[in-house]
Amino acid sequence: MNTNESDLARLSRRASQHDFFLGSILQQLAEREALDDSNLASRLSCDVSVLPMLRLCRAPRLDDDRQFSTDIRRISEHFDVSFADLLAIVRDELISARMAKGTQEGAPRRNSGWLMAARDRDDE
């Protein structure tokens, strides 16, 4: 690995600490599933050498579903990463983060709708 690649990898890991970057989402996945870079690249169907630049991408915009999908598509096309894999990973990690945030704030209120789909009958 030459100096430029080492600097790029170091920069991408620092960027992964900020929600602005896609790297933060990839880092959440790697931590949650104990993935090293090789396994992460395998999950994304890409080469490990792509990961630093992928981490430095802006995270997809969340305020509009169409923009979100467009952002994922552009990233996947630019870096030759599987659109379906990247989309699934980003969505799963965003959902996991929301659920973790909800549990940190305390248990959901009874009948709040948050867990109602998991019940097959009403409590008496």
pLDDT tens-place string over residues 31-84 = 999 999 999 999 999 999 999 999 999 999 988 888 999 999 999 999 999 999
What are residue 96's phi and psi, to 5 degrees?
-60, -40
**pTM of the full predicted structure?**
0.74
Q: Is residue 57 part of a domain?
A: yes
Q: Is residue 25 part of a domain?
A: yes
Torsional sign, CA 55, 34, 61, 97: negative
Q: Are 61 and 75 in contact (CB under 8 A)?
A: no
Q: Is residue 107 part of a domain?
A: yes
How confident is the prediction for the chain on average, in pLDDT?
83
Burial 105-115 (b: 16+ CB within 10 A, else e): eeeeeeeeeee
Q: Is residue 124 part of a domain?
A: no
Structural domain that includes position 72: 3-118
Separation CA 8–CA 14 (nearest Å): 10
